[in-house]
Structure 1
C-alpha cells in the first residue's frame, strides 16, 4: 500500500469505509446477477430464434432441414407433423439460427406451439411458408389413398391458416420494443416456374390480392416500423436440385443472405 493510499484510508471513518466496501460488493454482485441475462442476450444475437410457420403440406420441415444443412427427416415424406420440430444452423463464424417448425395441422399441439413461439418465448423472426396452391393435400383422418384438393381450395386453406398466424405475429409485435422480421417463403417454385413473378406478386404487400390485403392489415396492426416484410421464392426444399449455379441454389442463397441481413449477422 502506498503512503497516499494509507493516508486516504486513515482519513476515512469506520462507517465511510464500510459504505465503500458495501458499494464495491454490491457492484460485484450486480455484475454476477446481470451476467446470465447479458449472456442470453449475446447468444440470441448470435443465434436468433426463427419460427417456421405455414399450413400442412407446404414443406416447412424440409425447408428447415435445408437451411440447417441437415439430411431430410426420416418419414418427412408424410404430410404433417403433430409436434413442433427444432433445428439449429451453425456457421464457421460462430453465428447461426435456431428454427422452430410449428405444426401446420389445426390441432391442440399447433396452438400450443404458436403460443410458445409468439408469446411464451417470442422469436426474433418468422419464415411463413406458402406454396401458391401447390401444397400437398392432407388425408382426412381414418381414410386411405391419395388426398385430393383443388388449387382454389388449397389457396383458401392457406389464407385461413395465415389469418391465425398473422394474429399471433401482430400480438407479439405490439409487445416488443424492437422490430421483428417476416419473410414469406414461396416454396415449390419448380412446379410453377412460368408463374413465378405472378406468385411473388400475389404474396407481396400492396398488390391487392387476398393474401396481400391480409399482409397490409398485419402491417397496420403491428406498425410499419415494427415489422419488415420480404417475399422470396424457394425451390426444392428437400435440397435435391441445389446444384451449383442452379436456380434453386441461387434462391436458397438469397434467402440465407436476407436472413443474415435482418438478423444483423452481416
Structure 2
C-alpha cells in the first residue's frame, strides 16, 4: 500500500487532470462546431441579392418583396445537413453606413470568418432610393457597375488584411448572381469577374491576391440565379437550382466537408 502522502499526490494528479480536461472541453467543442459549421461572410453592395442567395443556401422560403431592398443590420442564416454539417452565413449590410462598417469589422477582424461569398450582379443590382427622397429609384447599369467596383475595393482590403493574419488559407467565392437576366452573355460576364482577365474587376481581384499572397487566398468565380426560372426567363428553373447546388457543393469542398 502507498503511504498517505503518495495517495494524496496521485489523487491530486488525477484531480488536476480532470480539471484541466474540463477547462479545455469548451474550447475543443468550439473547434469541432467550427469545423462542422464554418462561418461565411456574404458581402456585396445593396441590391445584388445577398439575402436571397443566403435564403436559398440555407433552405429558407421567405423572400424579400420587390420594394424591400437592402438591410441596415447584419442578417444570419444557417445551413444544416443530415450529416450534422453546414454553414453559418453572416449577411453584411450593403449600405455605406455605420452598421455596415461595424459588420465588416466583426467578420474580418473581431471574429474572422472562415470564408467569403462576395455577391455581384453585372450592373443589375436593384437600385435603392436615397434616404429622404420619394419616387422610384433609378440608376444606369454603368453607374451600378462603378458602384459595385467601389464596394469591392472596400471589401477586398478587408479580406487581404484578414488573410495575412491567418495561419491557414482563406477562401473567397465571387458569386455572379441574377444570371437569368443575361444568360446568353454568361461566359463574357464570368470572364469580367475572373482573375487574370484584365477587366477592371479582374484587375482588382489580382491586386487582392498579390496583397494577401497566392497561397493565403483561393478564389472561385461561380454563376448563380437565386430566383431564375420564370416564364419570361432565359434560364430554366432546373438550371437555376443547379447553380445554387453547385455553389453549395463548392462551399462543402472548400470547408473540408467532402
TM-score over 0.5 for the pair? yes
Distance verdict in 2 for CA 1:208–1:244, change over 3 Å:
closer
CA deviation vs aligned residue, 1:52-91 (integer Å, no higher than 9, x gap): 0000010000000111110124557411111111111111
Query: Equivalent residues in 2 for 1:12-31 (5 A)?
Result: 15-31=5-21
The question of 1:132 aligning with 2:126 is answered no
Quick one: distance in 1 between partners of 2:178 and 2:236?
18
Decide whether the 8 Å contact of 2:228 with 2:237 is kept in 1.
no
Q: Which deviates the most, 20-29 or 217-226?
A: 20-29
Decide whether the 8 Å contact of 1:133 with 1:152 is kept in 2.
yes
Structure 2 length-normalised TM: 0.93
**Cα distance, 1:144 vs structure 2:** 2.0
Decide whether the 8 Å contact of 1:61 with 1:76 is kept in 2.
no
The question of 1:263 aligning with 2:255 is answered yes
User: Residue 175 of structure 1: which of 143, 149, 165 is its match?
Assistant: 165
- The residue aligned with 2:82 is 92
Distance verdict in 2 for CA 1:76–1:90, change over 3 Å:
farther
The question of 1:144 aligning with 2:134 is answered yes
The question of 1:111 aligning with 2:101 is answered yes
Query: Equivalent residues in 2 for 1:1-266 (5 A)?
Result: 6=1, 9=2, 15-73=5-63, 75=65, 77-235=67-225, 237-238=226-227, 246-266=238-258
Distance verdict in 2 for CA 1:157–1:53, change over 3 Å:
same
CA deviation vs aligned residue, 1:166-201 (integer Å, no higher than 9, x gap): 111111111111111110000000101111001111
- Does the residue aligned with 1:224 lie in a helix, a strand or coil? coil
- Does the residue aligned with 2:187 lie in a helix, a strand or coil? helix
**Cα distance, 1:257 vs structure 2:** 0.6
Gaps of 5+ in 1: 1-5
Decide whether the 8 Å contact of 1:49 with 1:97 is kept in 2.
yes
Structure 1 length-normalised TM: 0.90
How many corresponding residue pairs? 255
Gaps of 5+ in 2: none
Quick one: distance in 2 between partners of 1:240 and 1:96?
26
- The residue aligned with 1:3 is none
Quick one: distance in 1 between partners of 2:16 and 2:198?
59
CA deviation vs aligned residue, 1:87-123 (integer Å, no higher than 9, x gap): 1111111111111000000000000111111111111
